[in-house]
Amino acid sequence: MTRFDLLTRSSPLAMAQARMWKDRIESLGHSVRLLDVSTHGDRDRRRHLACFGGFGAFVKALEDRLLSGQGHGAVHSLKDVPSVQPDGLVIAGVLERGPRGDVLVTREGLLLEELPEGASVGTSSLRRTAQILRARRDLKVLCCRGNVHSRLRKLEDGHFDAIILAKAGLERLGIKVPFRELPFITSPAQGAVALEARE
């Protein structure tokens, strides 16, 4: 039996996704240890994600550890992985893709068209921002960073009238909240969980 060390972010969703890979590898007769790593995106939760310049805010720290010989693989949401990988690293596998859609979460379970004029919508995605404003130019879109639970707390505390989340994240965390599916073009690979390894 071989033991594999898998690197992961420490957020509840990242750990849930890492456990999916852990279960898959252990089903083949190996043992797996999960090692959490703090990333640039985890440490800086105030700036909009676009400010990071596309270098992989949630990925680079794990890749640096892999390249230095720490860990056998790193678990990522595939949508966070830049299209060009560092020399020496490859995507070793991708689990069966989960739901790929975006959802609108409100305290009342409202549809997008039912939000009151001028309502505040929280997201950290430029893609989601553009599509919200295309559908409802009267809405106020505000930056909302943090893990799924912290964003839901901000909604519950009244910082936003609505937030946009990935449906896959809610399902993987077992969170039951009122939501409405959005007819948005989603991020490439949203809902897919990848394992990156040294070549």
Structure tokens at 141: 């879109």
Most distant pair of Cα atoms in the chain: their distance: 60
User: Are 14 and 82 within one domain?
Assistant: yes
- Give the model's pLDDT for residue 51: 45
Q: ∠161-167-169 over CA atoms, to 5°?
A: 100
d(C-alpha 189, C-alpha 182), whole Å? 17
Domains: count for the chain: 2
The single residue of 42, 64, 80, 102 carrying the catalytic annotation is: 80
Structure tokens at 24: 């898959």
- Give the model's pLDDT for residue 44: 55
User: Are 75 and 109 within one domain?
Assistant: no
| Known catalytic residue at 80 | yes
d(C-alpha 19, C-alpha 1), whole Å? 19
d(C-alpha 93, C-alpha 147), whole Å? 25
User: Are 63 and 111 within one domain?
Assistant: no
Q: What is the CATH number of the domain that holds 135?
A: 3.40.190.10
- Give the model's pLDDT for residue 17: 98
Range of the domain at 56: 3-98+190-198
Position 196, amino acid: E
Structure tokens at 99: 């739901």
User: Are 43 and 93 within one domain?
Assistant: yes
User: Are 118 and 171 within one domain?
Assistant: yes
User: Are 57 and 127 within one domain?
Assistant: no
Position 83, amino acid: S
- Give the model's pLDDT for residue 58: 79
User: Are 112 and 69 within one domain?
Assistant: no
What is the pLDDT tens value at each position of the chain, 199 positions in all?
Answer: 799 999 999 999 999 999 999 999 999 999 999 999 987 655 555 655 554 444 567 799 999 999 999 999 999 999 989 888 899 999 999 999 999 999 999 999 999 999 999 999 999 899 999 999 999 999 999 999 899 999 999 999 999 999 999 999 999 999 999 999 999 999 899 999 999 999 9
- Give the DSSP letter of residue 61: H
Structure tokens at 30: 């190996």
Whether 118 contacts 139, CB under 8 Å: yes
d(C-alpha 117, C-alpha 73), whole Å? 47
User: Are 39 and 114 within one domain?
Assistant: no
